[in-house]
Amino acid sequence: MTSRVGVRPVLLVVGVCALLALLCLASLAFGASGLSFGQAMGGLLGSPQSRQVENVVWSVRVPRTAIGLIAGAALGLSGNLMQALTRNPLADPGLLGVSSGASFAIVLSIAVLGLRTLYGYIWFAFAGALVASVLVYLLGRLGRAGLTPVKLALAGVAVTSLLSSITSAFVLTDPDALDRFRFWSAGSLASADGDLAARILPFVAAGAVLAMAAAPALNSLALGEDVAASLGRRLGLVRLQSVVAVMLLTGGAVAVIGPVVFVGLVVPHLARILTQSAGIGPDHRWLMPLSAALAPCLLLAADIVGRLVAEPLEIQAGVLVAFVGGPVFLALVRRRRLAEL
């Protein structure tokens, strides 16, 4: 990166940061309680406001926005990492069953062990994410032709449907669990409280550091496993590092906002398009931070729209993301030729 950095990359960074800041402000300003923008900003900046305004802003909207930022960044990084590691444009923590592994483990820990707190079950979320991602990866590698996108996607569907049928069995026999589970499983930021954001932050931060550190090795891996190995990359180490990062990022995000599909799929593609147009090319040292910044934009935008369109009800962010992300997935499938997949 010592070579010249032109104007366009700078513009890109500034633009993405501005967009993210704008969405954060919008997420703080809009919502069901109908504060004016001025009131919300006043409450945020500490100018004298009614007790109620301060309460809404600080105990509802700030945590919600923070969760959107953290979980979004986690899903974006995790998606980019998985796409790079599997060299598969269709990889996503939701599509490949990692999220359902985490949510299965969480439901299990709640239903069987009676755990109620995030610190109680987040370890189960990590374990579930780890087991599911390794399982899907191994399943996708089985057979003679190695890892192909179709096999990987099918393995993800298979693991997801297996885990979700067992999850349903637990949830169906316990009406109270069902009541909590159904909101969480649609992928919502609404249940966020202040503590939650602070608690998952260390895990997500650790995952993000690992992901960033893997970027140069993933650049070599993009040239093929043999080339990467002959460039001196230790493939086993890179894989281990990436899988641990995926586990921390996905497990952390799922524990808080539920299994959200398609964020990790769409965002890396968007990041690649942007780096291309900025003249940088698909360099993971750029793609990782870009994904981490763009994914919260998508999640926050979906959350804001979901709060506003169906007032007084809310549409969960995960549902809206799927309605945006699904068509992107379909477009990718239609555009790519078999050889390119």
Cβ-based nearer residue to another protein, 24 or 152: 152
Cβ-based nearer residue to another protein, 92 or 248: 92
- What is the SS3 assignment for 244? helix
Cβ-based nearer residue to another protein, 25 or 157: 157
Tell me the C-alpha distance between 138 and 242, whole Å. Answer: 15
Q: How far is CA 202 from the centre of its chain?
A: 16
| Closest distance of CB 259 from another protein, Å | 9
Which of 156, 222, 190 lies closest to 314, judged by CA?
A: 190
Cβ-based nearer residue to another protein, 182 or 234: 182
Contact (CB, 8 A) for 81 and 245 = yes
| Closest distance of CB 318 from another protein, Å | 6
| Closest distance of CB 177 from another protein, Å | 11
Q: Token pair of 80, please?
A: 């980019």
How many of the other CB atoms lie within 10 Å of CB of 119?
10
| Closest distance of CB 159 from another protein, Å | 9
* 231 backbone dihedrals φ, ψ, rounded to 5°: -80, 0
Give residues in contact with another protein (CB under 8 A). 90, 94-95, 139-140, 142-145, 148-151, 153-155, 157-158, 161-162, 165-166, 168-169, 171-173, 175, 178-179, 182-183, 185-188, 261-262, 313, 315-316, 318-319, 321-323, 326, 329-330, 333-334, 338
Cβ-based nearer residue to another protein, 293 or 303: 303
| Closest distance of CB 149 from another protein, Å | 8
Tell me the C-alpha distance between 145 and 139, whole Å. Answer: 12
